[in-house]
Amino acid sequence: NAGVMQNPRHLVRRRGQEARLRCSPMKGHSHVYWYRQLPEEGLKFMVYLQKENIIDESGMPKERFSAEFPKEGPSILRIQQVVRGDSAAYFCASSLQGRNTEAFFGQGTRLTVV
């Protein structure tokens, strides 16, 4: 059973471009979480999704950021018009439903904005 797969592992974008980060959850997992980690800082929660629904986006910046988890295919974190401050590691995690379930993380996408 493959783990959480994120791609690309490294992404370089020029200021003003769009960045699309993909996350394929573990098989059978219907919950996906996105986190951002700035250099030398901790993980910050961004958004929590179930299939076709955004459950909690309280950690998402109000502009330029969006996330989706369609019925078919991976979850996508989309950053429009990237700026240098968006440079960070973005981690995705997935879990089964329920409070008594652990979440498993992918290896992250390192976004560098030049």
Binding site for other proteins (CB under 8 A): 4, 31, 33, 35, 37, 42-45, 48, 55-56, 89, 91, 93, 95, 98-100, 102-108
CA gap 46, 58 in Å, rounded = 7
> 45 vs 64, which CB is nearer to other proteins?
45
Inter-CA distances, 103 with 20, 23, 27, 33, 92, Å: 22, 14, 13, 9, 10
47, β-bridge pairs: 34
> 2 vs 15, which CB is nearer to other proteins?
2
> 106 vs 113, which CB is nearer to other proteins?
106
Shortest Å, Cβ 17 to other proteins: 23
Q: Looking at residue 26, what DSSP letter applies?
A: P
The residue behind tokens 């394929």 is: 24
Shortest Å, Cβ 85 to other proteins: 18
Q: What is the CA radius of gyration of the chain?
A: 13
> 14 vs 40, which CB is nearer to other proteins?
40
Shortest Å, Cβ 108 to other proteins: 5
